[in-house]
Amino acid sequence: MMRKLSLLFAGALMGASAMSLVHGAPSSTANAAGSETYKQLAIFGDIFERVRAQYVTPPDDKSLVENAINGMLTSLDPHSSYMNAEEAQDMRVQTKGEFGGLGIEVTMENDLVKVITPIDDTPAAKAGVLAGDYIAKIDGEEVRGLSLNDAVEKMRGLVNTPIKLTILRQGADKPIELTVVRDIIKVKAVKFRVENDIGYMKITSFTEKTYDDLENAIDTIKKQVPNDKLKGYVLDLRLNPGGLLDQAVSVSDAFLDRGEIVSTRGRDPKDVTRFDARPGDDIGAKPLIVLVNGGSASASEIVAGALQDLRRATVVGTQSFGKGSVQTIIPLGENGALRLTTALYYTPSGKSIQGKGITPDIKVDQPLPPELQGRDLTRGESDLKGHIKGADEGTTGSGSAAYVPPDPKDDLQLIYAEQLLRGQKTDPAFPPNPDKAVLNQ
């Protein structure tokens, strides 16, 4: 089975996230630019030279060009961008699951850096950075006026060096000052434990380590609980921003014995790539429940969509983020790389989740604690300015609250999943229909 490496992510990243390399380059048969296009390029050249010659202070030529390129790309969609040589190298490091930084995934909104989610057990999470926070200043410098790449670059630095973030938080009556000490971010792709008779596995991101970590988790759980005592597994994909496409396919394949996992479709109607499961279910057809919420994006949605459509798992939680696009990384040699949206992906039933997300089989809301009451923690692709309109997007959009309680005792979605596996839940909504009665298979 051919497996293309592609970029799947929910935003620009300062943490473990969704970046990867696709081998290839733009087709030589691409449409040639017309005469009008060359006239526009001539206008650009004229303006560039006038800025260089007449701007009040001498501008940096390299920055001018990079910002112009990024302006072109970000006008296409929120996920296309240019990476210079240093950023491209950072991206390659991040896909390995270990990198230097703060441990937050960010995007740009209202001219401020918006935190999509802090990654568990990282400096940012420990310092108190929360999903939905807006970073207004970095070491006292205003974020307004900076590009997202510039802001991210300022947050990067040497390990063990401090950085001061000025945060605007909904519900707070004044800005919050936090000091975060940079560190090497070693991402544990899969966290797992045994809850008496249930195996719990949480995938935090899809890096090069994810599938191997998942296999280790499954093997360890099997050793800890006799097969006849194990009720089933919970696969937690909440707050998972995405990652490598090939890892999403491999993770899905671990629970499937056959069937199409996902397909990607590009601009050319003939440009369709399909990924199929291979024989062998690593958990021996044991019941499986997948947890999702508004922080489940991209690669995690591929897994949830495949297991749902192929009736291998019951999906519990709230509407997922809705990022159904694929970014290809086109190397530009010493000049860095181009991150370009080149395709949309489709679940086995042929549905695009772009701007819509995965709808859970059983909706279970997670109440916010008192300190977060009144805050809007909803996350969704359909909220991003300039996002690609999905074919099935509709009017309701995508996403939901991106919150998971730190204490499992307060986690209603997890508790619900465990009760389903143990047969303790008699909610008439479960199973949602006869075809989805996967727990009895």
CATH superfamily of 190-327+342-440: 2-enoyl-CoA Hydratase; Chain A, domain 1 (3.90.226.10)
- Of how many residues is the chain composed? 441
309 is catalytic: yes
DSSP state letters, 372-404: GTT---EE-GGGSTTPPPPTT-TTT-S-EE---
Task: Count Cβ atoms below 10 Å from residue 333 Cβ, excluding itself.
Answer: 8
Give the per-residue pLDDT at 394.
67
**Which is it for strands 243-244 and 232-236: parallel, antiparallel or unpaired?**
unpaired
- Asked if 355 contacts 383 with a C-beta cutoff of 8 angstroms, the reply is no
Sign of CA dihedral 30, 31, 35, 37: negative
DSSP state at residue 440:
G
Catalytic residue, candidates 6, 81, 252, 298: 298
- Asked if 46 contacts 368 with a C-beta cutoff of 8 angstroms, the reply is no
Give the per-residue pLDDT at 18.
33
202 is catalytic: no
| pTM beyond cutoff 0.85 | no
Q: What is the pLDDT along the chain (441 residues), one digit of tens a residue?
A: 333 344 454 333 333 333 333 333 344 445 666 788 888 999 999 999 999 999 999 999 999 999 999 999 999 999 999 999 888 887 777 777 766 789 888 888 888 999 988 887 889 999 999 999 999 999 999 999 888 878 987 888 878 999 999 999 999 999 999 999 999 877 679 999 999 999 999 999 899 999 999 999 999 999 999 999 999 999 999 999 998 999 999 999 999 999 999 999 999 988 899 999 999 999 999 999 999 999 999 999 999 999 999 999 999 999 999 999 999 889 999 999 999 999 999 999 999 999 999 999 999 999 998 888 888 788 899 888 889 887 777 667 798 999 999 899 999 999 999 999 999 875 544 444 434 333 332
Catalytic residue, candidates 323, 325, 356, 400: 323
Task: Count Cβ atoms below 10 Å from residue 138 Cβ, excluding itself.
Answer: 20
Give the per-residue pLDDT at 27.
43
Give the per-residue pLDDT at 58.
94
Phi, psi of 90 (to 5 degrees): -60, -40
Residues sharing a CB contact under 8 Å with residue 365, sequence separation 6 or more, in sequence order? 318, 401, 412
Give the per-residue pLDDT at 377.
83
Give the per-residue pLDDT at 78.
92
Give the per-residue pLDDT at 2.
36
323 is catalytic: yes
- Asked if 124 contacts 53 with a C-beta cutoff of 8 angstroms, the reply is no
Give the per-residue pLDDT at 92.
78
CATH superfamily of 99-186: PDZ domain (2.30.42.10)
Question: Which parts of 14-158 fold into alpha helices (H)?
Answer: 35-54, 61-74, 85-94, 123-127, 148-155
Catalytic residue, candidates 77, 309, 361, 411: 309
307 phi-psi bin (left φ>0, alpha ψ -120 to 50, beta other): alpha
Q: Domain map of the chain by residue range? A: 99-186, 190-327+342-440
Shared fold status for 99-186 and 190-327+342-440: no
**Which is it for strands 325-331 and 314-317: parallel, antiparallel or unpaired?**
unpaired
Q: Which DSSP helix (H) or strand (E) runs through 367?
A: none
DSSP state letters, 165-189: EEEE-TT-SS-EEEEEE-EEEE--S
Question: Which parts of 286-347 fold into alpha helices (H)?
Answer: 299-309
Phi, psi of 217 (to 5 degrees): -65, -45
Select from 113, 99, 172 the least CA-distant residue to 144: 113
